[in-house]
């Protein structure tokens, strides 16, 4: 029920941009859109080399091409097809994340807080509702949550399916291979028979991942610009060598932290408790693997640097939000955070996260510019600190009040 309410609030308060009336804003915030539109329009053929599609966009062309095919076969306008697909992917991602939290057997209030952090983050879904042409990221999110859910349920087939979805959507999928392989050998059963199956499964993951990457790259090369994938991992080093600026780097890092700001401050309020607790090794292994995946996913946008990744680091780092929140949920469980404490915090969390969700470009507020971006960052940071203080209050003063009544 909470998922439905949160999605309703999200859809009711979001902006809906159109290629006709909002093209300047789409060009400002989602220039990648036009690459994917060209790929979709070309169905049932490949785009011409004159379309000037960047290589890394062309390599992600499978799902835009599929949307183009559905539009052509059904007669639904291409822009509408992208939009409908986006809404369905968002609903599916939230449904699967809800299933994942249920599978982890989290306390009800903890589950509600994590759903709140996911759905009403200003970066998880708002961007794609406004600019649905970049739905590759949503396919990646759906695939990633399916991978984590299937790893928890020890389902090799569904893990493989989720991985295929991620690797068809983005090159970033190669960075979740360590999660899958390590979880397979460190968390799943270790009997002789299970070990043999896990080895076959791991080989299949590696072959599928790198084969799709290679084939999609070869196909992309027939109609795109030159391969610049390497530049996206050495951009920071090149920039630091030729045009290093501490202010620019600081702004770049802050932009990268923005998707995690409110959940991160929420975690910080529990740090003394987390650091002193001793949990089960299996739970800690899962948490370490999930945070490791967050680090790997975020490493590529960061390595691209301010010139290549630029402001896109916020959107790209948000691709790691599901493993981040899953690790947080396991932390609730391992360190036995009281459900009553989370229930007391939840109403305030709803207010703060809702206010922080109103992105200056993609919510109904609208508008764009450097000053608005700075204002939004300051407000978001202040809201995160406010939530931190509220959690601390209920951890100490609130608990003492309950103790005095018993």
Digit-coded pLDDT (tens) for 238-265? 999 999 999 999 999 999 999 999 999 9
Q: How many domains does the chain have?
A: 1
**pLDDT digits over 210-221, tens only?**
999 999 999 999
Q: How far apart are CA 124 and CA 140, in angstroms?
A: 12
Q: What is the mean pLDDT of residues 81-101?
A: 97
* pLDDT band at 273; cut points 50, 70, 90: low
pLDDT mean across residues, the chain:
91
For 359, residues 6+ apart whose C-beta sits below 8 A from its C-beta are: 122, 123, 126, 127, 365, 376
**pLDDT digits over 175-186, tens only?**
999 999 999 999
Judged by phi (left if over 0) then psi (alpha if -120 to 50, else beta), residue 227 lies in beta
Could you count the other beta carbons within 10 Å of the beta carbon of residue 378? 10
Residue 53 pLDDT greater than 50, yes or no = yes
Residue 85 pLDDT greater than 70, yes or no = yes
Q: How far apart are CA 259 and CA 320, in angstroms?
A: 9
For 8, residues 6+ apart whose C-beta sits below 8 A from its C-beta are: none
Residue 68: closest CA among 81, 53, 55: 81
Q: How far apart are CA 311 and CA 185, in angstroms?
A: 37
Confidence at residue 8, expressed as pLDDT on a 0 to 100 scale: 96
Q: Tell me the angle at which helices 261-268 and 108-119 cross, rounded to the nearest 10 degrees.
A: 150
Q: How far apart are CA 84 and CA 68, in angstroms?
A: 13
Is residue 11 within 8 Å of residue 88, measured between CB atoms?
no
* pLDDT band at 404; cut points 50, 70, 90: very low
Domain that includes residue 269, residue range: 2-405
Residue 231 pLDDT greater than 70, yes or no = yes
Higher-pLDDT residue of 155, 227 = 155
DSSP state of 337: -
DSSP state of 398: I
């Amino acid at each position: 029920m909470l998922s439905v309410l949160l999605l309703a609030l999200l859809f009711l308060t979001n902006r809906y941009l159109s290629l006709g009336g909002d093209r300047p804003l789409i060009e400002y915030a989602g220039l990648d859109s036009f690459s994917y539109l060209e790929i979709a329009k070309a169905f049932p053929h490949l785009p011409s080399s004159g379309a000037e599609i960047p290589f890394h966009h062309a390599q992600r062309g499978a799902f835009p091409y599929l949307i183009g095919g559905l539009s052509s076969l059904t007669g639904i306008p291409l822009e509408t097809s992208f939009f409908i697909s986006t809404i369905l992917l968002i609903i599916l991602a939230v449904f699967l994340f809800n299933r994942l939290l249920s599978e982890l057997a989290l306390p009800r209030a903890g589950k509600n807080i994590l759903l709140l952090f996911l759905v009403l983050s200003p970066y998880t879904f708002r961007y794609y509702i406004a600019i649905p042409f970049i739905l590759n990221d949503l396919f990646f999110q759906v695939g990633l949550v399916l991978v984590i859910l299937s790893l928890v349920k020890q389902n090799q087939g569904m893990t493989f399916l989720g991985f295929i979805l991620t690797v068809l959507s983005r090159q970033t999928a190669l960075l979740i291979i360590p999660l899958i392989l390590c979880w397979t050998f460190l968390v799943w059963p270790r009997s002789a028979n299970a070990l043999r199956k896990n080895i076959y499964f791991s080989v299949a993951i590696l072959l599928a991942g790198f084969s799709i990457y290679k084939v999609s790259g070869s196909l992309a090369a027939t109609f795109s610009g030159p391969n610049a994938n390497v530049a996206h991992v050495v951009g920071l080093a090149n920039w630091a060598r030729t045009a290093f600026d501490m202010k620019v780097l600081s702004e770049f890092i802050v932009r990268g932290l923005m998707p995690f700001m409110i959940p991160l401050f929420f975690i910080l309020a529990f740090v003394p408790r987390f650091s002193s607790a001793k949990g089960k090794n299996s739970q800690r292994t899962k948490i370490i693997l999930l945070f490791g995946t967050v680090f790997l996913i975020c490493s590529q946008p960061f390595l691209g640097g301010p010139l290549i990744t630029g402001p896109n680091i916020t959107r790209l780092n948000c691709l790691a939000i599901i493993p981040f929140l899953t690790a947080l949920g396991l932390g609730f469980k391992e360190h036995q955070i009281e459900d009553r404490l989370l229930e007391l915090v939840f109403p305030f969390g709803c207010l703060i996260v809702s206010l922080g969700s109103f992105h200056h470009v993609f919510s109904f507020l609208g508008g764009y510019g450097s000053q608005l971006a700075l204002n939004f960052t300051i407000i978001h940071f202040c809201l995160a600190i406010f939530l931190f203080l509220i959690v601390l209050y209920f951890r100490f003063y609130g608990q003492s009040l309950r103790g005095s009544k018993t």
